[in-house]
C-alpha cells in the first residue's frame, strides 16, 4: 500500500478568489496548495478588460501571505460588448491567459454574461489568432431546459459548433458534471480539454437532496446522477491529458448559502488536494494523480510544469465545520469529516 506520494506541485485550473475581505481571507488556502491558478473573473462588477485583470492580479498578489509563492493566471469575462483587440493586447502583454464564457444568468455574477454566443464569432477568431484560451461554463440557461440537462444541451447546441468553427482555439469545458461532457472531451481534438472538481468526484445529487436540503452541496453545474459521477471518476483517473484539476472553489458566507435562495458554490480550497487524492486512492490510481494534478494542465495551457514538489501522506486530516474568512463563517467542502490523506509539505 502506498502511504506517501510526492508529486510536482499542482496548479488549480479554475478558482474563485473573490475580492476585498473575502480575497484576503481565502487567497492563502489556494496559495498553500497550488503554484498557479486560473482565476475566475466573475466579480461584481466582472473583470472584463485587460486593465481590470491587471489590477485584480495586483490585489490577489497583495492578499497572498508572505512566504508563499503563487502565480495568479488571469481571465477576462466575455460580454456582449467585449473588444477583441483588448483581449489580444491582454495576451500579448502577458496579462491574460484565458477568457471566460458565462452564458448570461447561468450562475453567480453572470448577469453580464453573453446573451447570444453566435455574436461572439469575432471574439473567438481574435482569441484563436492570439493564442488566448477559452474557458467555458457549459450550461444553457433557457427556461425550457431542465437544470440537470443544461450541460448536455449546451454541448449539443453550442460547444460542438464553437469547436467546429474555431479549430485552432483551445477550449476548456470547465467543471464537467456529466458522462456527455466526458464523452465530448474525449472525442474532440487535442485542442479541447475538461476540468473536474473534487465535489463532482465525491457527490451525486442525492448529497444535496436526500434527508433534507443541503445547501453546502449545491454548486453549478449541479451534481448529477451517480452514473455521471462514476464517469467523471473514470475520466479523472484515466491518465488522459484531456482531463485535469480545477477545483471551482467558490466561497460564500454561510448565511448566504443557508438561505431561502442560497448561493451556488462549494468552498473546497482548504483541503482540495486531500479531497482529490482520496478519490485517486479509492480508484487505485495514485500513480496517475500527478498527471491529473500537475502535468496535464500545464501541457494543455502550454506552460512549464512546476519544479517544486509536494508530499501527501496517508493520515487523518480533520476538516473544520467552518472557516473564518472575510469576517464571516464559510463552510468548507467535507466540513466535519476526516479525510484519510494529509498534505505535509
Ligand atoms: O457553483 C458555482 N459557484 N458555480 C459557478 O459557476 C460560479 C461559482 C461562484 O462564483 O460562486
Ligand atoms: Zn467556477
Which CATH number does the domain housing residue 25 bear?
3.20.20.140
Binding residues for substrate: 16-18, 42, 137, 220, 252, 264
pLDDT digits over 11-24, tens only? 999 999 999 999 99
> Residue 114 in contact with residue 103, Cβ under 8 Å?
yes
How buried is 89 (Cβ within 10 angstroms: 0-12 exposed, 13-18 middle, 19+ buried)? middle
Helix (H), strand (E) at residue 268 = none
Taking the C-alpha atoms of residue 106 and residue 79, their distance in angstroms, rounded to an integer, is 13
Q: Looking at the whole model, is its pTM more than 0.95?
A: yes
Mutate to test the pocket of ligand 1, among 42, 44, 111 (most ligand atoms within 8 A of CB): 42
Q: Which residues are catalytic?
A: 248
Binding residues for Zn(2+): 14, 16, 100, 137, 175, 248
Q: Is residue 9 pLDDT above 90, yes or no?
A: yes
Q: Is 31 left (phi over 0), alpha (psi -120 to 50) or beta?
A: alpha
Number of the ligand 1 atom closest to the C-alpha atom of 106: 6
Taking the C-alpha atoms of residue 280 and residue 282, their distance in angstroms, rounded to an integer, is 5
Taking the C-alpha atoms of residue 325 and residue 132, their distance in angstroms, rounded to an integer, is 33
Q: Which domain range does residue 73 map to?
A: 4-343
Domain count, the chain: 1
Mean pLDDT of 73-78: 98
The DSSP 8-state label assigned to residue 103 in this structure reads B
Helix (H), strand (E) at residue 116 = none
Q: Where are the alpha helices (DSSP H) in 188-271?
A: 198-202, 206-209, 226-236, 254-257
Q: How far is the CA of 110 from the centre of ligand 1 (A)?
A: 9
pLDDT digits over 232-263, tens only? 999 999 999 999 999 999 999 999 999 999 99
How far from each other are the two terminal CA atoms of the chain, in whole angstroms? 20
Number of the ligand 1 atom closest to the C-alpha atom of 264: 1
Closest CA to 162 of 171, 153, 149: 171
Amino acid at each position: 500500500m502506498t502511504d506517501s506520494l510526492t508529486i510536482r506541485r499542482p496548479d488549480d485550473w479554475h478558482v474563485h478568489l473573490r475580492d476585498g475581505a473575502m480575497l484576503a481571507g481565502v487567497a492563502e488556502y489556494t496559495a498553500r496548495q497550488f503554484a498557479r491558478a486560473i482565476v475566475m473573473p466573475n466579480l461584481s462588477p466582472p473583470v472584463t478588460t485587460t486593465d481590470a485583470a491587471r489590477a485584480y492580479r495586483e490585489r490577489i498578489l497583495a492578499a497572498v501571505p508572505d512566504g508563499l509563492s503563487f502565480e495568479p493566471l488571469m481571465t477576462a469575462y466575455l460580454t456582449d460588448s467585449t473588444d477583441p483587440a483588448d483581449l489580444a493586447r491582454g495576451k500579448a502583454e502577458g496579462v491574460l491567459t484565458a477568457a471566460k464564457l458565462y452564458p448570461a444568468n447561468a450562475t453567480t455574477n453572470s448577469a453580464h454574461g453573453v446573451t447570444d454566443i453566435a455574436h461572439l464569432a469575432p471574439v473567438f477568431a481574435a482569441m484563436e489568432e492570439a493564442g488566448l484560451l477559452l474557458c467555458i461554463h457549459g450550461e444553457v440557461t433557457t427556461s425550457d431546459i431542465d437544470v440537470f440537462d443544461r450541460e448536455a444541451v449546451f454541448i449539443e447546441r453550442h460547444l460542438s459548433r464553437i469547436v467546429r468553427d474555431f479549430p485552432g482555439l483551445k477550449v476548456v469545458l470547465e467543471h464537467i458534471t456529466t458522462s456527455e461532457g466526458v464523452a465530448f472531451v474525449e472525442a474532440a481534438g487535442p485542442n479541447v480539454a475538461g476540468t473536474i472538481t473534487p465535489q463532482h468526484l465525491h457527490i451525486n445529487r442525492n448529497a444535496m437532496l436526500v434527508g433534507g436540503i443541503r445547501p453546502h452541496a449545491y454548486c453549478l453545474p449541479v451534481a448529477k446522477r451517480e452514473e455521471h459521477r462514476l464517469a467523471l471518476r473514470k475520466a479523472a483517473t484515466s491518465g488522459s491529458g484531456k482531463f485535469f484539476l480545477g477545483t471551482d472553489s467558490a466561497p460564500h458566507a454561510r448565511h448566504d448559502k443557508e438561505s431561502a435562495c442560497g448561493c451556488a458554490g462549494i468552498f473546497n480550497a482548504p483541503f482540495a488536494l486531500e479531497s482529490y487524492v482520496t478519490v485517486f486512492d479509492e480508484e487505485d490510481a495514485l500513480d496517475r494523480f500527478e498527471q491529473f494534478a500537475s502535468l496535464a494542465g500545464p501541457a494543455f495551457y502550454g506552460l512549464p510544469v512546476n519544479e517544486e514538489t509536494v508530499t501527501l501522506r496517508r493520515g487523518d486530516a480533520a476538516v473544520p465545520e467552518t472557516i473564518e474568512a472575510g469576517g464571516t463563517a464559510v463552510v468548507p467542502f467535507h466540513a466535519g469529516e476526516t479525510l484519510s490523506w494529509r498534505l505535509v509539505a
